[in-house]
Amino acid sequence: GNSVTQMEGPVTLSEEAFLTINCTYTATGYPSLFWYVQYPGEGLQLLLKATKADDKGSNKGFEATYRKETTSFHLEKGSVQVSDSAVYFCALSDRSGAGSYQLTFGKGTKLSVIP
């Protein structure tokens, strides 16, 4: 079956520090990969996505590259801000037998950025 493993948190960084959150996956097919973010008190929002090998998704200074050979999709940001404090979820979407393209999520990584 499909699964996503991501770095366990919580992660605490100082403002302007470099961020990496590791994510690896197992999929039976050729999945699309996503990073979702959940800010305190809000719903899940898509942060970035990649749909094929070597694609780089980027948004708001965050980047992740679809690495098929290592089955990874690590999230990076060069300089975090206090406003980046949130829970980050790595997810994949793969065609199921019923064609649902349901999302399979990792457990989430809570990031706290301190001034």
Partner 1 sequence: DTGVSQDPRHKITKRGQNVTFRCDPISEHNRLYWYRQTLGQGPEFLTYFQNEAQLEKSRLLSDRFSAERPKGSFSTLEIQRTEQGDSAMYLCASFRGDSGRALGEQFFGPGTRLTVL
Strands 11-14 and 109-114: parallel
Using CB under 8 A as the binding rule, whether residue 98 contacts partner 1 is answered as: yes
Residue number, 18 or 30, with CB nearest to partner 1 = 30
Q: Which two tokens stand for residue 51?
A: 């749909």
The residue from 19, 23, 32, 84 that contacts partner 1 (CB under 8 A) is 32
Tokens at 112, concatenated: 């706290």
Q: Cα separation of 63 and 77, whole Å?
A: 6
Q: Is 84 helix (H, G, I), strand (E, B) or coil?
A: helix
From the list 19-27, 61-69, 70-78, 88-96, the region that binds partner 1 by CB under 8 A is: 88-96
Measure the CA–CA gap between 72 and 91, rounded to whole angstroms: 11
Q: Does 108 bind partner 1 (CB under 8 A)?
A: yes
Chain residues binding partner 1 by CB under 8 A are 4, 30, 32, 34, 36, 42-46, 49, 51, 89, 91, 93, 95-108
